Amino acid sequence: MHVPQDDPQDDPDRRPHADPGLQPERTTLAWNRTVLALVVAGLLLLRWVPGHGWFPLVLTLLTLLTALVIAGGQARRYRRSSRGIRDGRVEADVVGVLGTTAAVALLGALALVVVVALPLR
């Protein structure tokens, strides 16, 4: 005999917020696109390893580590955003956005060094 499981979506008190599809879900998708873009950019840097040595490899690892840190914090950001909607006070993740911006700008500048300034072996 099948016993129906309680679905948190059926109980308004157990839902993360009242309107699924709102800001937390869109924000999660945006952060996931950022992670995907970092992974792709990091893997593209591997193209320059044969010609430039270890530096592009280190840069690839830093890019993948940055993507991993962003992905690792995603569950916390989602919960905080959902609670904020439910409680009526949402706060922006200023530190996360500024940190990601700084990391991507630095990684981009270092990638330009690899492509433009490093001599070929």
**Does residue 77 fall inside a structural domain?**
yes
User: Does residue 78 belong to any structural domain of this protein?
Assistant: yes
- Is residue 13 domain-resident? no
pLDDT reported for residue 76: 86
Cα gap 8→3, rounded to integer Å: 16
List per-residue pLDDT tens for the chain, 121 residues long: 554 555 455 555 555 666 665 677 888 889 999 999 999 999 999 998 998 889 999 999 999 999 999 999 888 888 888 888 778 787 888 998 899 999 999 999 998 988 888 777 7
> Has residue 7 been placed in a domain?
no
In the chain, % of residues over pLDDT 90: 39
Q: What is the pLDDT of residue 32?
A: 93
Q: Which residue has the tokens 């993948």?
A: 64
Q: Where are the beta strands (DSSP E) in the chain?
A: none
User: Does 3 reside within a domain?
Assistant: no
Q: CA Rg, the chain, in Å?
A: 20
Is residue 67 situated within a structural domain?
A: yes
Specify whether the CB–CB gap between 108 and 40 falls below 8 A: no
Structural domain count, the chain: 1
- Residue 28 falls inside a structural domain: yes
Task: Identify whether 63 is part of a domain.
Answer: yes
- The pLDDT score that the predictor gives to residue 92 is 81
- Provide the residue range defining the domain that includes 76: 23-117
Helix (H) or strand (E) holding 26: helix 23-44
